[in-house]
Amino acid sequence: MSATSPVTTAPTSQAAGTGASPGDLSVRGVLASEWTKLRSVRSTVWSLAALAVVTIGLGALVSAVTNNRWRTFSFADRLTFDPTSRSLRGVFLAQLAIGVLGILVITSEYGTGMIRSTLSAVPNRPLVLAAKAIVFGLVALVVSEAVTFVAFLVGQSLFTSPVPHATLGQPGVLRAVVGSGLYLAVLGLLALGIGSLIRHTAGAISTFVGLLLILPLLLQAFPTSVQTALGKYLPLTIIQAMIRVQPTPKAFAPWAGLALLGGYTLVVLLAAGVLFVKRDA
Amino acid sequence: MIEARGLTKNYGATTAVDGLTFDVRPGMVTGFLGPNGSGKSTTMRMIMGLDHPSAGAVTVNGRRYGELPRPLCEVGGLLEAKAIHPGRSAFNHLWCLAQTNGIPRSRVNEVIELVGLRDVARRRAGTFSLGMGQRLGMAAALLGDPSVLLFDEPVNGLDPEGIRWVRNLLKGLAAEGRTVFVSSHLMSEMALTADHLIVIGRGRLIADLPVAEFIAQSSRQFVRVRSPEADRLAAALRNAGASVLSEPDGSLAVTGLPISSIGVEAGRSGVVLHELSPQAASLEEAFMELTHDSVEYRGDLLGDPALGDPAGSIPNGAR
């Protein structure tokens, strides 16, 4: 364990060739770092596996049960039957998986003290938060899209004649599948913003679940007029409209709803960025 | 080179760091000494740009931390042993830090080798012992081969072998011309590693001087005298101009008279001596004496009036 001349031959002039422009940290390096962080912890794998299992599994379950009970459906039920939304039911549970992962991306750094290592390496805090959001957002998007497509295809394959099934070419179907994946990715970013604001895993998850699931329950205590006026602003209403091919009453149009969610996310991330810069780490 | 100018940090009504001004120079180990809660960690976090100063400023190599182009290549910090995600392997922990500053993969393996973690580099850091965690923290600090290094209580919780390793590392780094700033609440530890001391208490600068000077300045010299006729001897010594303090164990602590004169006085009075020995306060006592006015939480023992009066007191139990 002799360490009298430990670090004499270390490279200090490797700026050239690594993408690090002299005089600044490289954005590419910070993005690469966040990708390393995300892929090197188990919580990422588990959250994404849970996302796939609940989305595909629940969609398949709902589709299979629907297929078996078709004979008991009334004429009206058969007329409004939406095979696409049945196969995408798992998205409701997937919200929790993607939310928890989005939160952990930032709160796990505070919980472990890693944030101080991170900020020592990159004192540019907006860059850190942006890199986290970009890397996590892209991973969430790719995985969510893949999962919603598989859930749709598996679900449709379980509908047997005379039960109608949907194809991606039918109007509104592709929008429902692509939009659901997009919704999950944006919701994950919203969760990341909440995590950055609150900085504690348990507190952030509670807040996220409260906004997502408890707020709709509270709203039910109000008169119908209030419910109609406010209900459409809830993320849950937005995703309900998104997975359906047909228009949903008392809700924004699917893309308008997604844009609204995007707006929430942007506001929360900006607030998180401002506080991230202001607060002590 | 670290330069703090009027560095201040308030948390609400309490002031953790109060107008600190000091320089930490290259080529030596500078000890940052203060009782627990005196503001050492807060100061170090401000140096590394993690906490924002309420007033004043601190620069590293002439720039604020946030303005350093590639911070890891200029400053290495070990602020907490566990600023590490327990689910990530040692290699990935270092690699994700290296990537941000454009440090190549080969350097990651180099520092892993350097701190002796090669066999466990792929293991999750959460399974590491305290000592291994500390080595991983050291590896992260050395990653960018920085010219300035900050270590906050680096030997806390280490076994003797680990402590020796850290000491040698610190000295080695300073010998290479680097700026090494290391905090501790143990004077004895600093006496072994540091060349220069910055002492703070309650966030204020108490001393900024070479270690040798600190020892000479703050350790009080006195002569311990034991005699079966202590009272008579004490009176005789006082008559000769000495100041004499009776210790609880019956001995006398004498200052203001050379040791030979004490012997002469004893002989003149016909008093039998059992002990006549020169004493110097230990470093730990010197440190306690220096900071005792600024210790935030202290037990009753330290509230003892004999110790509360620095002018007339002589530390008990001095060796």
A93-104: average pLDDT:
96
Measured CA to CA, the distance from residue A169 to residue A146 in angstroms comes to 18
Q: Which residues of B touch A106 (CB under 8 A)?
A: none
More confident call, B300 vs A33 = A33
Q: Residue B310 pLDDT > 60, yes or no?
A: no
- On the question of pLDDT at A18 being above 60, the answer is no
> How many degrees, rounded to 5, is the angle at CA A32 between CA A30 and CA A34?
70
- The per-residue pLDDT for B213 is 84
Give the residue on A whose Cα is nearest the Cα of B136: A117
More confident residue, B98 or B250: B98
ipTM summary value: 0.87
Interface test with B, best of A1, A2, A4, A7 (most B CBs within 10 A): A7
Take residue B14 and report the two structure tokens written for it.
């309490």
What integer pLDDT is reported at residue A159 of this predicted model? 97
Place of tokens 């459906």: A73
- pLDDT digit string (tens) for A177-192? 999 999 999 999 999 9
A180: tokens are 């659901």
- Is A21 a domain residue? no
Mean pLDDT value across residues A239-260 = 96
Write the pLDDT tens digit of every residue in B43-77. Answer: 999 999 999 999 999 999 999 999 999 999 999 99
Mean pLDDT of chain B: 87
A142 assigned to some structural domain: yes
Cβ distance B89 to A116 less than 8 Å, yes or no, reads no
pLDDT per position as a tens digit, B250-267: 889 888 888 888 999 999
Residue A17 lies in a domain: no
Residue in chain A closest to B46 (alpha carbons) equals A280
Task: Say whether pLDDT at B156 is over 90.
Answer: no
Burial status of residue A243 (CB atoms within 10 A of its CB: 0-12, 13-18, 19 or more): buried
Q: How many helices (H) and strands (E) does chain A have?
A: 13, 0
Q: Which residue has tokens 């993969």?
A: B105
Contacts of B176 in chain A (CB under 8 A): 5, 7-8
Q: B243: which strand partners? A: B255
- Bond prior to B26 in cis (omega within 30° of 0): no
Return the pLDDT at B218: 61
- Interface membership of A267 toward B (CB under 8 Å): no
Beta-carbon pairs below 8 A across chains A and B: 152
Say what the pLDDT of residue A23 is: 43
The residues, ordered by sequence, that sit 6+ positions from A167 with a Cβ below 8 Å of its Cβ are: A156, A173
DSSP annotation of B220: P
Q: What is the separation of C-alpha B256 from the centre of its chain, rounded to a whole number of angstroms?
A: 31
**CB-CB neighbors (< 8 A) of B99 in chain A:** 29-30, 32-33, 36
Contact B178, B171 (CB under 8 A): no
| Residue type present at position B219 | S
A22 is a domain residue: no
Q: Is the pLDDT of residue B212 over 90?
A: no
Domain with A168, as residue range(s), is: 27-278
| Residue pointed to by tokens 């720039």 | B63
Q: Show residues of chain B in contact with A104, CB under 8 Å.
A: none
Q: Is the pLDDT of residue A35 over 60?
A: yes
Residue B131: list chain A partners with CB under 8 A. Answer: none
The residues, ordered by sequence, that sit 6+ positions from B268 with a Cβ below 8 Å of its Cβ are B236
A4 touches chain B (CB under 8 A): yes
The answer for A 106-165 residues in CB contact with B (under 8 A) is 108-109, 112-124
The shortest C-alpha distance from B133 to chain A (Å) reads: 13
Cβ of A114 and B85 within 8 Å? Answer: yes
Q: Which domains does chain B have, with CATH numbers?
A: 2-216 (3.40.50.300), 220-308 (3.30.70)
Contact criterion met (CB < 8 Å) for A7 and B68:
no
Nearest Cα residue in chain B from A107: B85
Residues of A in contact with B71 (CB under 8 A): 120-123
How much is the average pLDDT of B239-260?
Answer: 87
| B38 pLDDT higher than 60 | yes
CB contact under 8 A, A108 and B80: no
Tokens of B137: 């923290």
Total domains, chain A: 1
Pairwise CB contact (< 8 Å): A36 & B84 = no
The amino acid occupying position B16 is A
CA distance A29 to chain B (A): 4
Torsion angles phi and psi, residue B211, rounded to 5: -55, -45
For B28, residues 6+ apart whose C-beta sits below 8 A from its C-beta are: B174, B180, B194, B195, B196
Over the stretch B112-127, which tens digit does the pLDDT of each residue have?
Answer: 999 999 999 999 999 9
pLDDT at A172 over 50: yes
Q: Quick one: pLDDT band at residue A5, thresholds 50, 70, 90?
A: very low
DSSP string, A229-263: HHHTTSHHHHHHHHH-SS--TTS--HHHHHHHHHH
Separation of alpha carbons B91 and B119, rounded Å: 11
CB within 8 Å: A112 and B85: yes
Are the C-beta atoms of residues A97 and A50 closer than 8 Å to each other? yes
CB contact under 8 A, A30 and B140: no
**Per-residue pLDDT at B317 exceeds 70:** no
Q: Quick check: A116 pLDDT over 70?
A: yes
**What residues of chain A, 38 to 67, have a C-beta less than 8 Å from chain B?**
40-43
With a CB cutoff of 8 Å and minimum separation 6, the contacts of A73 are A81
Peptide bond into A162 cis (omega under 30): yes
Does residue A12 form part of some domain? no
| Residue B316: pLDDT over 80 | no
Find the length of chain B.
319
